[in-house]
Amino acid sequence: MSVLSAAVILILVLDPVGNAPVFKAVLGKLPQERRLRIIVRELLIALGILALFLFFGPFILTAMNLTPPALAIAGGVVLFLVAIRMIFPGAGGLGLTEDEVEPFIVPLAMPMIAGPATITMVVLFTTREPERVMEWLAALLAAWAFSAVVLVASDYLLGLIGERGQRALVRL
């Protein structure tokens, strides 16, 4: 597999276009400048998590006695709970409460950006061809940079597609 193919796969798994409406829902009440700082911070945290799993993923999973399918199932459960909280906000919901100033790591950096599918992919790249770890890092950085551009420009992009387009994106 080429670095370009790996980067495209990671872009599809990271799904920045699909995550943009979720970021808007979570950060919508914050001022624009603060939203951008949070997005950049969460992107950097997610990159750190993914790089950690790229270099040490097989060891971490072995130490925790986890398999990639188990990781995917657990991540699916977390995403399901996040979706339920978005549908039924309230006590303990996903929206920001008066006590919370902003989200930190969960749900934006993990599982929305560095989710189970992305972690599984970087671990699989390293497990299958460990001698190419620097190439996988280049693919990860390229996919991350694309995601960063999309998420930082998400207010503008979501404005272009309107409310109906955003609802369609969330459902995809």
* Predicted local distance difference test score (pLDDT) of residue 82: 65
Q: Model pTM greater than 0.85?
A: no
* Predicted local distance difference test score (pLDDT) of residue 161: 87
Share of the chain above pLDDT 90, in %: 49
Closest CA to 141 of 41, 48, 2: 48
Q: Is the pLDDT of residue 171 over 60?
A: yes
* Predicted local distance difference test score (pLDDT) of residue 137: 98
Instruction: Kindly state the average pLDDT of the residues 143-158.
Output: 95
Q: Assess contact for 148 and 43: CB atoms under 8 A.
A: yes
Instruction: Kindly state the average pLDDT of the residues 79-88.
Output: 71
DSSP state letter for 112: I
On average, the pLDDT of the chain sits at 86
The angle, 0 to 180 degrees and rounded to 10, between the axes of the packed helices 32-63 and 133-152 is: 150
Q: What residues have CB less than 8 Å from 143, skipping those under 6 apart?
A: 7, 8, 10, 11, 14
**How far is 114 from 104, CA to CA, in rounded Å?**
13
